[in-house]
Each structure stands twice: as structure tokens, then as C-alpha cells.
Amino acid sequence: MSKRILLITSSLFGENGQSSGLAARFKAALDGRDVELIERDVVAEPLPHLDAEEIQSWMTDPAERSAAQRTLAERSEVVLAEVEQSDLIVIAVPLYNLGIPSQLKAWFDRVLRAGRTFRYTENGPVGLLEGKSGLILAARGGQYAGSEMDSQTPHLRHMLKLIGIGDVEAIYAEGLNMGDAQKAQALEAAERDIAGFIDGHL
């Protein structure tokens, strides 16, 4: 059975973004593999910021939802289905002001749902999406990996773990704004790491 992969891209610069370039390298490395690829660009198809009305639509029994509530609830159902049906979640992400793009946060706000993808217990939250793994493709102008300034990668890991995805690897392309030589070296190393990941997991 082929593996299902969900590839999330989140660059404000579309196909010209450095993180989109990592996603393109990942896709190219899949050539010949028995996989099913689902793609979602959260910038090209942005979700609005989460508000009280949408949360209320989730909390309303489906049979009692108004037409407006059904439309609001469907936003989450669409992205949730993509995650639930996938074996591997790949997130290509730039580093904007030490965080993730707000469009990606809006996507996570529909995926991290108490009672649906995780539940609260007396010992803390427990993820409900088991048997999945994750890959972070991180593109950065500077060099942050492994330093206290890299709050992004731990944040992504925590959000994925909340819903039960604890097996998460990260591949970095850093220093992309630190000269042509550094950029070329970083992208070459990331491409090798992507190939290695695919050989080891797919």
C-alpha cells in the first residue's frame, strides 16, 4: 500500500520562497516512489484567523447547526481530513520574526481540536492521531538551529505531538541570506538530507 503524504507550504513568496524550494526538492526526490501526495499551500489558500463563531460551530451538534455554522465547521473538517488520511505530514516553513507564518498558525488552529485530535486527561493532553510521522523543512536567512533563539522548531514539534505525532524530524537550510557560497552549501546539504530521509522512510 502506498504511503500518503501531506505537504504543507507556507511561504509568503509562493514558489519563489526558500521554504517552497525545499518543498520542491522533496517532491522531486519522491520520483518513482509509491506514494500519494496531497499538497496544501496555506498562503495561496489562506484560512481566516480563528474566531469565536467558528469555535462555536464546532461545539454545536451537527444536526443543530445553522447554514452559517455548517460553512464554518467545514473549514476545519477539510484540513482535518487531509491530516487524518495521511501517514506523513511534511511542513515546509520559513522563519518569520522567530516564528511561523500566521497563515500556518491558522491552519494549526483548525487541526489542534480538543475532542477530535487530542483529549484532556487527568495526566494532561493525549493525542488521538496515532501511527503518523512528521518532517519539518525549515528555511532560514540566518543560523538558529540548536540555539536558544530557535523557538520555531520546538513549537512545531509540540503542536504535532499534541495530536499524537511524536516522531518528527527536521531538515534545515540556514544562512540563506549570508552570502551565495553559504546559501549554495546549505541548500546542497538540505537536498542530501531530504534524499536520505526519503531513502530511510519511504
Residues 6+ apart with CB under 8 A from 120: 114, 126
CATH number, domain with residue 91: 3.40.50.360
Q: What is the mean pLDDT of the chain?
A: 97
Summarize pLDDT for 155-186 with one digit per residue, the tens: 999 999 999 999 999 999 999 999 999 999 99
Summarize pLDDT for 54-78 with one digit per residue, the tens: 999 999 999 999 999 999 999 999 9
Domain that holds residue 126: 3-201
pLDDT score of 1: 73
Summarize pLDDT for 8-45 with one digit per residue, the tens: 999 999 999 999 999 999 999 999 999 999 999 999 99
pLDDT > 70 in the chain, percent: 100
Indicate whether 102 pLDDT > 90.
yes
Distance CA 31, CA 40 (A): 19
**CB-CB contact of 110 with 75 (8 Å):** yes
Residues 6+ apart with CB under 8 A from 84: 129
87, exposed or middle or buried, with CB in 10 Å at 0-12, 13-18, 19+? middle
pLDDT score of 69: 97
Q: Report the predicted TM-score, pTM, of the whole model to 2 decimal places.
A: 0.96
Bridge partners (DSSP) listed for residue 72: none
Structural domains counted in the chain:
1
